[in-house]
Amino acid sequence: MVKKSQDDIKNLIVGTAKNLFSKFGFQKTTMNEIAQSIHKAKGVLYYYFNNKEDLYVEVLSRELGEVQGELRKILNNAKLSATDKLEHFIKKRIQLLKDVPSYSEIIRNDLIEAYNFTEQITKQFDDFLKNSLMSVLNEGEENGSMTFKDMNITVENLFFVLKSSDISILLKTEYKRFEKTVNSLTDFIICGISSRTM
């Protein structure tokens, strides 16, 4: 009972913080605003979190966790071929990330001046991406739908291309061409990776 209540408050804080951070960004969101939004004194935030950065990391962590959950569904879908998994994975990933403003913020700040306190969580998310790619490529190679000279290098390259695309896609607000770009790029990658039988 007591534990339940504590979790509720914590969730309330994180949920509110998520909205405010997504609206105003990390710097322009104040701990006071967050506290006021839940009609509590500022001090209570420090009962549940060590500091502002930790709260932000918690928000980011949950959001990226949800993204990972969605992507895992694709990877675990037995009905999909490896190629289809890769295709859906790439498209879904960028689509989901568009709705995680904190991720865009981190990318932006990474290019200018780093938020080093998010390193850990973004590193973990990067590892998830690499592992996911590795698993799909492995599956593809095993059933012969894909071929590679060196799979590790291919994973690294795919990783690089996807991360680079993140910057272009998430930071440049060209919403019109967004979907088309993603689709084309995905096809381009899939096509390059697939075994061709001509």
Partner DNA sequence: AAACTGACCAAAAAACGAAAAAGGTCAAAA
Partner DNA sequence: TTTTGACCTTTTTCGTTTTTTGGTCAGTTT
Residues that bind DNA (CB under 7 A): 2-3, 5-6, 9, 27-33, 39-44, 46-47, 50-53
Indicate the angle between helix axes 52-75 and 2-28, nearest 10 degrees: 100
What residues form DSSP beta bridges with 194? 146
Distance CA 186, CA 89 (A): 10
Residue 29 interaction partner, one of its own copies, DNA, none, beta carbon < 5-8 Å per kind = DNA
Residue 143 interaction partner, one of its own copies, DNA, none, beta carbon < 5-8 Å per kind = none
Residues 115-154 interacting with its own copies (rule: CB under 8 A)? 147, 149, 153-154
Report the nearest approach of its own copies to the CB of residue 130 (Å).
Answer: 14
In the list 156, 174, 176, 178, the residue contacting its own copies (rule: CB under 8 A) is 156
> How far lies 20's CA from each of 24, 35, 59, 87, 117, in Å?
6, 11, 11, 33, 19
Report the nearest approach of DNA to the CB of residue 61 (Å).
Answer: 17
Distance CA 64, CA 78 (A): 24
| 163 near its own copies (CB under 8 A) | yes
In the list 9, 80, 134, 161, the residue contacting its own copies (rule: CB under 8 A) is 161
Phi and psi dihedrals of 155, rounded to 5? -60, -45
Is 151 exposed, middle or buried (CB count within 10 Å of its CB: 0-12, 13-18, 19+)?
middle
User: Binding residues for its own copies, per CB under 8 A?
Assistant: 108, 111-112, 147, 149, 153-154, 156-158, 160-161, 163-165, 167-168, 171-172, 181, 184-185, 187-189, 191-193, 195-196, 198
